[in-house]
């Protein structure tokens, strides 16, 4: 599969653009023809609907087939940055079709894709998890072909399996559930959207507990989740308090959250995160052997029992009151060390 930008630049091809199709034209697709996940063509409006097919334009159209179209620009108020539309041979009555330059299209060697592969790809691109990933590395509203190539995609087999059960007009919630089930759960892969959601929840907790800004980061969130043995899809009510060393914590980061830290960052985790959790009273060191040296390679840590009980209720009614009561009974780092 290849991502390309539409070949027709309208101001360069102005003399060949037509409002209506005729015997000497091919259908011309603009972003305005992509409406709610399907193609509406022809369309009365400001944009042309056809391109004259001549010696000067013969290299611009593609053979009619199944393509995935993605708008290059999205309005700031649009819900998603990546907006994909399935183009099928039935979208237009012609053996050729041209795509305008404000559209990206996914194809195979200049021709269409297999229908199930194309539908699976369209569904995946329209998911919330792709939108979340895209916003992490792209802060503007333009979606370039290079951006689409940078995205991580499921395997061809996964996309085809998704295409077999998807349909073009799915509601967002149903689409996201389908992508999660077909692409991730069936294949034993962690859902990036669920991973980010869980990390955001852990960051929210760290902030509410009063940790300084230097510890309100992903590393600290991962440390908290490791100390609770909380995987991305595990409910907070199932949080635990295992004895956990620094190296096992880092292995937990990689195994369950896909975050790999180099072995030489072990001390960073201990000094820049675990140390502050200990000082705040949120974590206990070596409860199995209190006289074990701090720098012992066998050192282990455990979440403080009353904090475990508090976190097991995160997200349920009454948690805010429980948090307020918990904080009233301890000194947060913010108070103890006068952090701002």
Q: What is the pLDDT of residue 16?
A: 97
- By the 10 Å C-beta count (0-12 exposed, 13-18 middle, 19+ buried), 109 is classed as exposed
Q: What is the pLDDT of residue 255?
A: 84
Cα separation, 98 vs 59, whole angstroms: 10
How many CB atoms within 10 Å of residue 325?
10
2-189 architecture in CATH?
Alpha-Beta Complex (3.90)
Q: What is the pLDDT of residue 154?
A: 87
Tell me the CATH class for 195-336. Answer: mainly alpha
Residues pairing with 66 in the sheet: none
Q: Which residue has the tokens 């948090």?
A: 323
Write out pLDDT tens, residues 55-86: 999 999 999 999 999 999 876 666 788 999 99
User: For the chain, what is the largest distance between any 2 Cα atoms, rounded to a whole number of angstroms?
Assistant: 89
Q: What is the pLDDT of residue 333?
A: 45
Res. 339 pLDDT band, cuts 50 70 90: very low
Write out pLDDT tens, residues 278-314: 988 899 999 999 999 878 889 999 999 999 999 999 9
Mean pLDDT score, 261-267: 85
pTM above 0.85, yes or no: no
328 CB-near residues (< 8 Å, 6+ apart): none
Q: Identify which of 29-33, 168-172, 267-271 has the greatest average pLDDT.
A: 29-33
Angle between helices 128-137 and 192-209 (to 10 degrees): 60
- What average pLDDT is seen over the chain? 89
Domain ranges of the chain: 2-189, 195-336
Mean pLDDT score, 215-236: 94
């Amino acid at each position: 599969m290849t991502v390309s930008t539409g070949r027709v630049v309208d101001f360069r091809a102005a003399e060949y653009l037509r409002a209506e199709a005729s015997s000497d034209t091919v259908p011309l697709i603009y972003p305005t023809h992509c409406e709610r996940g399907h193609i509406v063509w022809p369309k009365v409006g400001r944009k042309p609907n056809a391109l004259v097919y001549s010696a000067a334009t013969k290299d611009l159209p593609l053979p009619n087939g199944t393509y995935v179209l993605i708008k290059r620009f999205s309005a700031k108020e649009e819900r998603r940055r990546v907006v994909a539309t399935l183009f099928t041979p039935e979208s237009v009555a012609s053996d050729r079709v041209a795509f305008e330059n404000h559209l990206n299209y996914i194809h195979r060697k200049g021709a269409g894709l297999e229908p199930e592969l194309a539908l699976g790809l369209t569904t995946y691109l329209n998911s919330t998890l792709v939108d979340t990933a895209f916003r992490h590395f792209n802060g503007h509203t333009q979606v370039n072909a290079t951006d689409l190539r940078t995205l991580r995609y499921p395997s061809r087999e996964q996309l085809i399996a998704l295409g077999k059960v998807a349909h073009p007009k799915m509601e967002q919630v149903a689409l996201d559930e389908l992508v999660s089930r077909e692409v991730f759960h069936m294949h034993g892969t962690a859902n990036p959207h669920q991973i980010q959601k869980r990390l955001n929840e852990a960051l929210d907790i760290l902030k509410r507990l009063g940790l300084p800004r230097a510890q309100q980061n992903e590393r600290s969130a991962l440390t908290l989740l490791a100390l609770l043995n909380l995987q991305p899809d595990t409910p907070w009510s199932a949080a635990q308090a295992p004895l956990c060393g620094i190296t096992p914590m880092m292995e937990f980061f990689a195994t369950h959250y896909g975050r790999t830290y180099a072995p030489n960052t072990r001390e960073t985790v201990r000094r820049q995160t675990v140390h502050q959790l200990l000082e705040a009273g949120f974590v206990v060191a070596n409860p199995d052997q209190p006289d074990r040296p701090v720098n012992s390679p066998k050192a282990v840590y455990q979440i403080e029992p009353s904090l475990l009980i508090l976190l097991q209720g995160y997200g349920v009614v009454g948690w805010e009151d429980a948090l307020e009561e918990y904080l009233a009974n301890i000194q947060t780092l913010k108070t103890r060390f006068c952090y701002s």
